[in-house]
Amino acid sequence: MTALEEVRKVLRDLGIEEELLHEDARLRAHLGLDSVDLTQMQVDFAERFAARVDLWTEHDYTLRQLADVLGEHRPGAAVHQAYRDRGWWRPEFLDDLVLSTRLHAGHRAALADAEHTFTRAELDAAVSGCAARLAHTGIRPGETVVVQLPNQARTVVLVLALIRLGARPVLALPALREHELTPLLAALRPAALAVPARHRRFDHVRLAEKLRERHPCVRTLLVAGAADPAGGHVEIDRLTEAGDQAPAPRDRHPSDTALFLLSSGTTGAPKAIARTHEAFGHLVRTAAAVSGLTPESVFLAVLPVTHGFAFASPGILGTLARGGRAVLAAPDDALAAMALIERERVTHCALTPALARQWLTARAAFGGHDLSSLEVLQIGGARLDASTAARLAAAFDCRIQQVYGMSEGLLNFTRLDDPPEVAFTTQGRPSSPGDETLVVDGEGRRVADGDIGELLVRGPGVITRYHGEVAAASFTPDGFYRTGDLVRRHASGNFVVAGRVKDVINRGGEKVPADELEALVLEHPGVRAAAAVAMPHRVLGEAVCLYVVGGAQGAPSLPEIRRHLTDRGLARFKLPERLVDMPALPLTAVGKTDKARLREDIRARLGNED
């Protein structure tokens, strides 16, 4: 074994990933060390693992140097250097990219919700102040903090402050519940959870308390709204007021993880996606450029800001990076959103097709608002059909830009100068000039141009593995991400999304992995077999239909199954809308559940009911 291989092996044995090694602060937190004194580490390793660990005899490396040496020998290092050489990855930090007052005047309005408004300078000060107060509460650089907050300005301040501090926010949808959060906490070992006191009638604090009891890594609960200092809660409002400056973050590097996004989870619970400053900065910049954002733009965030689409594709971060203003709201009805567009002179807004359909209905019924400021409606998260696209363009008198993206880092956009027939019928092409895309068949061979196949992608914004996973089926050996989406290339060069390889139901943009749902349903004592499939839904596009084979007493009812799933802490949006009781599930020739037949079956049933 060479010295390097030996070092690698020891680190692996110690459970230290190379990624961790790249980040001194996080490694210190991981090992519970106060300093990176190498001798001290050696002693600590020896005590902890009752073995002599001699990493440093031959070379006197600092951890960063060691990481770089290992990195040079890592597949991908040359590619990363090429991304830097081409200017796709820049030596900048995400918070600086977004908050810079070098290019954009500090007195300009930057961020607002119903209660607060920040100019750029105020936002920058609030972020610095918040970073300082977070440090006072004991949050250290390198630690992770799960942020499960609604669309409010303080959510953005908190996320940017964590990034400035060098701590890692994990952006989590407020809709996630115990079932989804438990494996995440086990994997990411967050030092704190940031939650609303209550949101949409759910007591988040109670769940956070329960999770804190089970996961001792969680020291602090950051609470928006009624916090209880006696319960060790820290009030987020107090953290995010403008105020004292942050201590200069120590030892940050653009290749450090800036934040974590969550995959929508094709199998089981969501997976953590580590985004470095340089790769995520590239995504934000390129997405902002193809969306026509300028310092005059006003972006309205109505989709959850803790999801990549409204947060950074280009969303709030892209708008701020171009010097524009972001307005946050989560109105329950479309008319309230339109009132906001009128009042704030909104130019850009991102919607799912399901939400867009609701807006169309509201617009047709009560079309009174002046929406003349609106330039671009971005629609993504699920497939938009051409007729809805055309109706949207007419009803809102603006451009429709389709966005086909994923948290793993590929973002496709139709371009603002694409002719309407292309903008309405395709889901766009990559915003990053560095993305390489392949459309392949089941054996990984490229299909003929225009034929349908699975989309693979590799590029400066795309991850090459999930956090904490060494090898995964979602990536090819040469680093392409398998999107699990079936696409074909349109004559314009844009992609058309034709379906899915992955077994996920896309419920109005929210993803429901079928196998996760089925496994939980099978825990019900009255269920012998179960299969979840997508059924057509007028507003959501797809909804969840559950086929169930019951035991001797017959199959449980839909309300009973929904209760069973809720009791297991499953997010509400994953609950089935319909249950079909069957004597046996249909099988394919190789003995798998024949989901194609089930999808046909539910379509036929719905057809007969119309």
DSSP string for 411-468: EEE--TTS-HHHHHH---EESSTT-EEEEE-TTSPBPPTTS-EEEEEESTTS-SS-TT
Residue 444: what residue type? G
Report the C-alpha gap between 60 and 15 in whole angstroms.
Answer: 22
CB of 404 to ligand AMP, least distance (A): 4
CB of 201 to ligand AMP, least distance (A): 24
Report the C-alpha gap between 420 and 402 in whole angstroms.
Answer: 11
Which residue, 497 or 535, is less far from ligand AMP as judged by CB?
497
Chain positions contacting ligand AMP, by CB under 6 A? 263-264, 308, 380-383, 402-407, 427, 483, 485, 497, 500, 506, 511
CB of 565 to ligand AMP, least distance (A): 20
Which residue, 227 or 423, is less far from ligand AMP as judged by CB?
423
CB of 483 to ligand AMP, least distance (A): 5
Which residue, 117 or 464, is less far from ligand AMP as judged by CB?
464
Report the C-alpha gap between 158 and 111 in whole angstroms.
Answer: 13
Report the C-alpha gap between 290 and 292 in whole angstroms.
Answer: 6
Longest CA pairwise span in the chain (Å): 77
Which residue, 257 or 407, is less far from ligand AMP as judged by CB?
407
Q: Which residue minimizes CB distance to ligand AMP?
A: 264
CA angle, residues 357, 311, 159, in degrees to nearest 5: 145
| Helix (H/G/I), strand (E/B), else coil: 281 | helix
CB of 379 to ligand AMP, least distance (A): 7
CB of 352 to ligand AMP, least distance (A): 9
- Alpha-helix residue ranges (DSSP H) falling in 291-413: 308-312, 315-321, 334-344, 353-365, 386-396
Which residue, 134 or 330, is less far from ligand AMP as judged by CB?
330
b/e string for 183-203 if b means 16 or more Cβ within 10 A?
ebbebbebbbbbbbbebeeee
Which residue, 207 or 406, is less far from ligand AMP as judged by CB?
406
Which residue, 295 or 499, is less far from ligand AMP as judged by CB?
499
CB of 456 to ligand AMP, least distance (A): 12
Which residue, 190 or 381, is less far from ligand AMP as judged by CB?
381
Which residue, 405 or 460, is less far from ligand AMP as judged by CB?
405
CB of 486 to ligand AMP, least distance (A): 9
Which residue, 141 or 380, is less far from ligand AMP as judged by CB?
380
Residue 397 falls in which region: left (phi positive, over 0), alpha (psi -120 to 50) or beta: left
Report the C-alpha gap between 595 and 515 in whole angstroms.
Answer: 12
DSSP string for 507-559: ETTEEEEHHHHHHHHHTSTTEEEEEEEEEEETTTEEEEEEEEEEBTTBPPPHH
CB of 363 to ligand AMP, least distance (A): 21
CB of 438 to ligand AMP, least distance (A): 15
Is the CB of residue 189 less than 8 Å from the CB of residue 166?
no
CB of 569 to ligand AMP, least distance (A): 20
Which residue, 52 or 538, is less far from ligand AMP as judged by CB?
538
Report the C-alpha gap between 227 and 239 in whole angstroms.
Answer: 12
Which residue, 310 or 326, is less far from ligand AMP as judged by CB?
310
Q: Helix and strand tally (H, E) in the chain?
A: 22, 27
Report the C-alpha gap between 288 and 568 in whole angstroms.
Answer: 40
CB of 502 to ligand AMP, least distance (A): 7
Phi/psi for 4 (5° steps) reads -65, -45
- CA-CA distances (angstroms) from residue 269 to 266, 309, 442, 566? 8, 20, 25, 15
Of 153, 488, 428, nearest to 286 by C-alpha is 428
